[in-house]
């Protein structure tokens, strides 16, 4: 099976679309995975590593109320990060990841391995909650893989690519 990045690239290129990312717990892993594919500069605009809530607020426009009501690791935070990234970069698609990679930082309500991923396009939004297992590196790797799958599904759901 072809790599998720290659499949996503094909879909984006076929539409003439651009992509940007906003990452927290993956610390740039998604951007690194995307740019590891030759030719990614044709569709990848860049990313923001928003590890601190101030960066999520100041750079991505996540409202303080999201942190107060839902927390930084939440569906609401992931959705706001994706929407802010889409707007900030002027991209056609934005993907965000926020979660708890461990080994510390988990609570009974928000355990290690809890990761929220959101994808925003100019016409739709989708998000998902994930519960990954394993060590820190494994959780981060699984989060990147899941983000690529969700982005691919969102782009494909947008309809047929533009014809050359």
Q: Where are the beta strands (DSSP E) in the chain?
A: 19-23, 44-49, 93-99, 114-121, 125-131
pLDDT for position 73: 98
pTM of this prediction?
0.95
The span from the CA of 24 to the CA of 55, in Å, is 10
pLDDT for position 163: 46
- Look at the alpha carbons of 90, 44, 123, 139 in this order and tell me if their dihedral is positive or negative: negative
Task: For domain 4-157, give its CATH number from 2.130.10.10, 3.40.50.720, 3.90.950.20, 3.10.105.10.
Answer: 3.90.950.20
The span from the CA of 121 to the CA of 94, in Å, is 6
pLDDT, tens only, 44-75: 999 999 999 999 999 999 999 999 999 999 99
pLDDT, tens only, 110-146: 999 999 999 999 999 999 999 999 999 999 999 999 9
pLDDT, tens only, 5-42: 999 999 999 999 999 999 999 999 999 999 999 999 99
Q: Nearest CA to 152 among 27, 25, 61, 33? A: 33
């Amino acid at each position: 099976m072809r790599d998720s990045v290659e499949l996503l690239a094909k879909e984006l290129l076929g539409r003439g679309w651009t992509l940007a990312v906003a990452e927290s717990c993956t610390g740039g892993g998604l951007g690194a995975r995307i740019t590891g594919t030759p030719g990614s500069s044709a569709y990848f605009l860049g990313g923001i590593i928003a590890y601190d809530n101030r960066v999520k607020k100041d750079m991505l426009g996540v409202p303080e109320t999201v942190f107060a009501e839902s927390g930084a690791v939440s569906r609401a935070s992931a959705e706001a990060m994706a929407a802010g990234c889409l707007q900030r970069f002027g991209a056609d698609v934005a993907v965000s990841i926020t979660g708890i990679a461990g080994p510390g930082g988990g609570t009974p309500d928000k355990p290690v391995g809890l990761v929220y991923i959101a994808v925003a396009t100019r016409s739709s939004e989708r998000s998902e909650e994930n519960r990954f297992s394993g060590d820190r590196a494994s959780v981060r790797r699984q989060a990147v893989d899941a983000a690529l799958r969700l982005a691919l599904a969102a782009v494909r759901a947008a309809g047929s690519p533009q014809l050359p």
